[in-house]
A and B are shown apart, each in its own frame.
Chain A
Amino acid sequence: MVEQPSGVAAADERIQRQSALRRAFVRPELGAMTGTVLVFIYFAVVAGGTGMFAADGIMNWGVVSAQFVIIAVGACLLMIAGEFDLSVGSMIGFAGIVIALLSVHLGWPMWASIIAAFIVAMLIGMANGYLVIKTGLPSFIVTLASLYILRGLTIYFSIATTRQTIIGGVREAAEGDWLAPLFGGKILGFIFTWLADMGLIATFQAGNRAGQPVVDGIPMLMVWALALIVFGHILLTRTRFGNWIYAAGGDAKAARYVGVPVNRVKIAMFVFSAFCATVFATCQVMEFGSAAADRGLLKEFEAIIAVVIGGALLTGGYGSVIGAALGALIFGVVQQGLFFAGVESSLFRVFLGVILLFAVILNTYIRRLITGER
C-alpha cells in the first residue's frame, strides 16, 4: 500500500479501490442469494414438469424449508454472538416428549404442557449459556455434552413412564385447546378455497376430500418461520441489542471494555436458540399428533450448515438472518427437489457436504476482503 501524505488522501484512495462489485461481494447474503437462484433454476429445468412448482409441490418443500428456517434463525443469532449450540436436535426431541408426557400421560391441559415445555427448554438453554460463560470452555464442548445428556434423558423418561419411545394421542389431547392451534393450525384457508374455485390450484379428484383444494391453508409452521426471520433480522440490524450481538461475537474483550454486557447477550442467545428448538418441536408434535424420543436427530448440524451457507462466519461477529433463511430454503428445496427429480435421496448428503465446504471457503475469503488480511 502506498503511504499518502494525509489521512484525507488516504481515505479517498481506499474508497476508490473498493468497486461496487466488491462491496456487493462483502454482503453476507450474497452467496446464499446466488445459491438460491441457481438451485431454483436447476430444479425448474430437471423437475419443472413433476409438480414440484404446483401448489402442493410448493407446500411440500416450503414446509421442509420452514422447519430449517426456524432452527437456523436461532443458530444464526447465536453464531453471530460467537457461540454454537449442538444440543438443538436433542432439545427438539426433549421438548416434544415433555409436551406429550405432560398432556397425554399426566393429563395436563395442552396449553400448560406447551408453556411448561418452553420454560424447561429455555432454562436448559440458559444453563448451557451459563456453563459456557462460567467455565470459559468452548460452547462446542459444553453443548455436545447437553446433546448426549438431553437425548439420553428424553429416551429414559419416555420409556420409564410409558414403556415406549413414541407417545401418541397428542392430537386428541389438543382438541379444543386455545394454544395448540398457534403451532398446529393453518391460516388463510379461505384464499385457497377461492383459488381452487377459480381453478387456479388443483383439487382432490377422489376420496373423501374430493373437491377440496390440495392445499387448504398456510401451516402455522410457516408463519412461525416468517415471524422469526422478521424478528431476528430487525433485532440484529435495527436495535441496540443487535449491535451487542455483533460486538459479543466480533471481539468479546473489546466489547466488554466499552460496557457491552457480553455475558448477558450470549446467554440470551442460548435461550433464544432453545426457544426456536421448542417452536420446531411443538409444531412437529402438533402435526404428527405424537412425540418420539428420536425426533430432531442431526438438526443441530443442519441448522449450522444453513447458517454457514447464509454467509455467517463460524468464528462469530458476522452474518445475517436473511442469509441463514436463504440457506435453509436451499436446504429444503434440494432435499425435496431431489425426490421430485427422482434422484437417489442419499445424494442429498453428498450435496450438503460439498455446498458446506464451498460456503466456508467463500466466507473465509470474504472475511479477508473485509478485514484487509492477506
Chain B
Amino acid sequence: MADTPLIELIDIKKQFGPVIALNGVSVSVMPGECHCLLGDNGAGKSTFIKTMAGVHKPTSGEIRMNGEKINFANPRDAMTAGVATVYQDLAMIPLMSVTRNFWMGREPRKGWGPFQFLDMEKANQVTLDEMRRMGINLREPDQAVGTLSGGERQTVAIARAVYFGAKVLILDEPTSALGVRQTANVLATIDRVRKTGVGIIFITHNVRHAMAVGDRFTVLNRGKTLGTARKGELKPEELQDMMAGGAELAELSSSLGGTI
C-alpha cells in the first residue's frame, strides 16, 4: 500500500448558519483500501460525503488529493479529479436501458460535425463487458434497468463510475435497501473494485456490512470523528456502541436481549 492517501480530508468543519453539521472530521483513503464511515442518522455522514463530492464547500479544513491541496467548486470538479459518488436512490433511471444508463451524460459518438450519432455498438459492447467483469451476465444490454434487482442496479452504478475513471469511489449506503443475497453481491463487487486499486469510502450504519469488507473504520457522531480503527482492532459491538453513543444503546440493547 502506498504512503500517500488518494484523498485526505483534514479537520473538516461545516456550518449551515447556526447549525454545526461537521465539527472537525478527518478521513483518508489509500489506493485499494476500503474505508468504512459509520454513523447513526444525523451524525453528519451525508454532509461529509457531499463535501467530499464537491456539493458543499467546507467552512474550514483541507482536502488533499495525492498529497496536494485541492478545492472542489462543484460536483463536476470532484468527478474530473476522480472522485465519484454512487447515491443509493439516484443512481439509475428504471425506464431506460442498461446501456443508456451506463453511458448517460458521456455517450460515445461517431461521425463528424452536426452528424454525430450514438455509437450504440460500442456502447452495448462495453456495457456487456464491464457488467460481466462485475459478475452480472446481461444477455441484452437494451433491457430496462427496471428489470434489474436493487443490488444489480448498484452494481451498474459502481461499474459505470469505475469505467469512467473513478480513483475514489464514495458509496452512500449501497446496502441499506437490499436483501441478504443482493447485499452479498454488492459487497463482493466492492471487494472486486478495491483490488483494482480504487480507494473506496463505504458509508453505512450496518456494522456487519462494514466488517465484511472494511480495512479501516471511522465512526462519526454528532459531527465529530470518534476515532479511526484498523481491521481487527475493534469488535463489532464496540463499533456499534460508538456509533449510537454508547450508554443508552447498551441499555436498550440489553432490554432487547442483545440483538442489535
Contacts and interface: CB of A to CB of B under 8 A. Distances in A.
Contacts, number: 105
A258 B95 CA distance: 16
B136 A372 contact: no
Nearest to B123: A243
B228 interface: no
A259 B77 CA distance: 11
Contacts of A210: none
Contacts of A11: 136-139, 152
Interface string B98-119: 0010011111010000001110
A15 B148 CA distance: 11
Interface stretch (B24-32, B86-94, B217-225): B86-94
A257 interface: yes
Given A11-B136, A257-B87, A317 B146 contact: no
Interface of A: 3-4, 6-8, 10-12, 14-15, 18, 26, 234, 238-240, 242-244, 246-247, 250-251, 253-255, 257-260, 313, 317-318, 367, 370-373
**Overall SS of chain B's interface:** loop
A41 to B, nearest CB: 32
A10 B185 CA distance: 11
A370 B140 CA distance: 14
Contact of B116 (A12, A240, A313, A372): A240
Given A8-B135, A11-B136, 8 more contacts: A7-B137, A238-B117, A242-B118, A244-B105, A254-B92, A258-B104, A258-B105, A372-B94
16 contacts: A3-B179, A4-B181, A11-B136, A12-B139, A14-B147, A15-B140, A26-B144, A234-B117, A243-B104, A250-B96, A254-B91, A255-B93, A258-B104, A258-B105, A317-B93, A371-B146
B149 interface: yes
Contacts of A6: 135
B158 interface: no
B162 to A, nearest CB: 14
Given A7-B135, A11-B137, A11-B139, A259 B96 contact: no
A260 B139 contact: no
B136 A238 contact: no
B135 A371 contact: no
A29 B85 CA distance: 36
A14 B145 CA distance: 12
A240 B118 contact: yes
Give 9 nearest A-B pairs by CB, closest first.
Answer: A371-B146, A250-B93, A258-B105, A259-B105, A240-B107, A371-B94, A238-B117, A7-B136, A3-B181
